[in-house]
Chain A
Amino acid sequence: MSVARSWRTRRQRYSLVGERCEYCQNAIFPPRDVCPHCAEPAQKEYTMSGRGTVYSYTTVYDPPAGFEAYAPYPVALVKLDEGPMVTAQLTDVGADDVRIGMPVEMVTRKLSEQGDEGIIQYSYKFRPRWEQQAVAA
């Protein structure tokens, strides 16, 4: 991701800032010019709750540049409680412990680093919802 694109999308990446359509009331993420549900143009800013469930997932063994240190890592299609579907890394969970339907919550984490001298990208990821997390005795 370029520094310029990273900067333009920072609010959606840091805290799931999307929109809610003023005509059909559907939540929209990521934000866009026209509502994907009813094609009306003007949208109202809306921050997602960050809660959702795993709709499907896969494990990345051969990651793109900048993500090597994390491999293997799970990537999921998360259905937000508000409706939109987002693709995101899962964190604080082993690849073997992910399952479909797992309740998850958004956290803001480091996504990638452009080498030692470049910018650090931060973004939403999802972790198992707190009450589901492993708590050792």
Chain B
Amino acid sequence: MSSNNGSALMKPLRDVGIVGYGAYVPRYRLPAREVARVWSGRDAELPIKEKAVAGLDEDTATMSIEAARNALARAGIDPKRIRAVWVGSESHPYAVKPTSTIVAEALDIVPLTQAADWEFACKAGTEAMQAAIAFVGSGMADYALSIGMDTAQGRPGDALEYTAAAGGAAILLGPAEESLARIEASLSYVTDTPDFWRRAHAHYPSHGQRFTGEPAYFHHVTSAAEMMLEGMQRDPADYRYVVLHQPNTKFPQRAAKQLGFRKEQFETGLLVPVIGNTYAGSSLIGLTAVLDEAQPGDRVLVVSFGSGAGSDAFSLEITDAIVDARRRALTTRDYIARRVEIDYATYARFRGKMLMK
């Protein structure tokens, strides 16, 4: 078929789409005002309303399993036909021993499958999705499962503690003709930018303050989005929905407006005010909230961001299959509505926050 011809856009040899999707958000919520009460003792400007916190018996593996079960319920395929289980996260339970084999075993996908953990800060999940598109698009597999999931942690008292949250989504890729959303094109845009990092033996991440905004988040997200629009010869108005990586409430809103999108286009997938920044899960769980509501024919633009730094962009078109598929599992809003508020002391116990560095 066609070669890429040096275009910024990536398109596989055979057409690929999303055949199943599923979200997971744990039930506990830590209000940002509670973090402010403990650390600043005054009314600081709060970056979100509240964030989702994992229970004591939850981690990236268990949350991935539930999200993937939802994705499989929607796809209705035999799990043995899945040839890749790829989990993107910066909070894998083990430093050495894949999360993906645990997920593959629990979903009865083993043994004839690829299994690997992906890392690229907050875009590890979309990185896995790019690879899954290629895996199906090349014909090496009929189905490939990509997951973005995190139980993110901030150093006690650090700005990130308000937003670092738990949750994410599983996206099952398959042949476009069976899909609920067709992948029209994708692209990846990366540079070496020192905005955020965590060294191998450190518990908490560090960030280069002056790098987090303009040169990191805004540059990569808007460049990837603009190049996608240009490559597709489209305007923002051609998309019914846009989902951007959401580290806080302000950044994605400002980036979306800067690109020419209106509130009606970004509010459905903007979940950070009520669940926090789910890192590798952030843009993908925003996408699941959109898939829960989108209509056949709607177009969706998704742009992730990962520190270090880079963005993946995906242009999607919703198909008729969405209508039946979305009923077969819990929606993202179902998970968001299940909510038990906790105080800082309970949070500290859940997250084992005795370590100050």
Interface positions of A (Cβ within 8 A of B): 10-11, 14-15, 17, 47, 69-70, 89, 91-92, 107-111, 120, 122, 125, 130, 133-136
Do residues B330 and A110 form an inter-chain contact, with CB atoms below 8 A?
Answer: no
Cβ 8 A contact of B338, one of A10, A107, A122, A133: A133
Any A CB within 8 A of the CB of B105: yes
Which residues 35-75 in B have Cβ within 8 Å of A in the complex?
55-59, 61-62, 65-66
**26 A-B contacts (beta carbon < 8 Å):** A10-B105, A11-B105, A14-B65, A14-B105, A15-B106, A15-B107, A70-B57, A107-B62, A108-B66, A108-B106, A109-B55, A109-B57, A110-B57, A110-B58, A110-B59, A110-B61, A120-B59, A120-B61, A120-B93, A120-B94, A122-B62, A125-B57, A133-B338, A134-B338, A134-B339, A136-B339
Do residues B65 and A108 form an inter-chain contact, with CB atoms below 8 A?
Answer: yes
* Contact A130/B330 with A92-B55, A109-B58, A136-B339 known, Cβ cut-off 8 Å: yes
Do residues A135 and B56 form an inter-chain contact, with CB atoms below 8 A?
Answer: no
Any A CB within 8 A of the CB of B112: no
Cβ 8 A contact of B66, one of A89, A107, A110, A111: A107
Do residues A122 and B102 form an inter-chain contact, with CB atoms below 8 A?
Answer: yes
Do residues A122 and B56 form an inter-chain contact, with CB atoms below 8 A?
Answer: no
Q: How far is the CB of A129 from chain B (nearest CB, A)?
A: 12
Most buried by B among A47, A108, A133: A108
Distance, CA A120 to CA B102, complexed state (A) = 11
Q: Could you say which residues of chain B place their CB within 8 Å of the CB of A134?
A: 338-340
Distance, CA A120 to CA B58, complexed state (A) = 11
Distance, CA A91 to CA B27, complexed state (A) = 11
Q: How far is the CB of B355 from chain A (nearest CB, A)?
A: 12
Q: Could you say which residues of chain A place their CB within 8 Å of the CB of B107?
A: 15
Q: How far is the CB of A64 from chain B (nearest CB, A)?
A: 15
Number of residues in B with C-beta < 8 Å to the partner? 24
Distance, CA A108 to CA B66, complexed state (A) = 8
Interface positions of B (Cβ within 8 A of A): 27, 55-59, 61-62, 65-66, 93-94, 102, 105-108, 330, 334, 337-341
Q: Could you say which residues of chain A place their CB within 8 Å of the CB of B108?
A: 11, 15, 17, 47
Q: Could you say which residues of chain B place their CB within 8 Å of the CB of A91?
A: 55, 57
Distance, CA A107 to CA B26, complexed state (A) = 12
The 3 closest A-B pairs by CB, nearest first: A14-B106, A109-B57, A110-B57
Do residues B105 and A111 form an inter-chain contact, with CB atoms below 8 A?
Answer: no
Q: How far is the CB of B50 from chain A (nearest CB, A)?
A: 11
Q: Could you say which residues of chain A place their CB within 8 Å of the CB of B340?
A: 134, 136
Do residues A135 and B337 form an inter-chain contact, with CB atoms below 8 A?
Answer: yes
Q: How far is the CB of B188 from chain A (nearest CB, A)?
A: 32
Q: Could you say which residues of chain B place their CB within 8 Å of the CB of A15?
A: 106-108
Do residues A108 and B62 form an inter-chain contact, with CB atoms below 8 A?
Answer: yes
Distance, CA A133 to CA B339, complexed state (A) = 9
Q: Could you say which residues of chain B place their CB within 8 Å of the CB of A10?
A: 105
Q: Could you say which residues of chain A place their CB within 8 Å of the CB of B94?
A: 120
Closest to B93 in A: A120
Do residues A110 and B62 form an inter-chain contact, with CB atoms below 8 A?
Answer: yes
Closest to B110 in A: A11
Most buried by B among A70, A107, A110, A111: A110
Q: How far is the CB of B82 from chain A (nearest CB, A)?
A: 15
Extra 15 A-B pairs, beta carbons < 8 Å, given A17-B108, A120-B93, A122-B102: A14-B65, A14-B106, A70-B57, A89-B57, A108-B66, A109-B58, A110-B58, A110-B59, A111-B57, A120-B61, A122-B61, A122-B62, A134-B340, A135-B337, A136-B339
